[in-house]
Amino acid sequence: MKTLTILSAVLVLATFGGCKDEDPFDEGADRARLAAMEAAIDDFIGEPLCGDASECRAAPFGAKPCGGPWTYKVFNATAVDTVVLYEMISEYDAYNEVLNQRYGWNSDCMFVEAPALDCLDGRCVPVSLP
């Protein structure tokens, strides 16, 4: 009986003794994926060339942990499929929200206002107002 108790104890230790409380997530890989998603969005937007300021738009981009976007992506609405662009941004924002929760990321919680836009030298650009 004593031998059975010792064998049971050895089996329990062998089974659970080697278990590690490992994090199944890789923050570096998740950050790289987020960066790749942003690069794909930037490639999709391309150079925001314009003939007139009415063609220029700014889409809220990213998800601050406190709410609201991190910034805005400037693009030419006549040169980009806006439905596809907003779907890509929505996927990015959703993944950003997941990572905010997963890693406890924080932010300044400052409201980021949409920029005023103009077409300068044939390119959509944010402009500061006086």
pTM beyond 0.75: the answer is yes
Counting Cα atoms < 13 Å in the Cβ hemisphere of 82 gives 11
Number of domains in the chain: 1
Residue 36: inside a domain, yes or no?
yes
Locate 77 and state its tokens: 């609405």
Does residue 22 sit within a domain? no
Query: Would 53 be classed as within a structural domain?
Result: yes
pLDDT of residue 11: 46
- Say if residue 1's pLDDT is above 60: no
* Domain span holding position 85: 28-127
Question: Quick check: 13 pLDDT over 90?
Answer: no
Examine residue 5 and state whether it is found in any structural domain, yes or no: no
In a domain, 68, yes or no: yes
Tokens read off for 51:
């003939």
Q: What is the pLDDT of residue 128?
A: 77
Question: What confidence score (pLDDT) does residue 24 get?
Answer: 86
DSSP H/E element including 97? helix 82-103
- 3-class DSSP state of 11: helix
* Euclidean distance between CA atoms 64 and 81, whole angstroms: 25
Q: Is residue 67 part of a domain?
A: yes
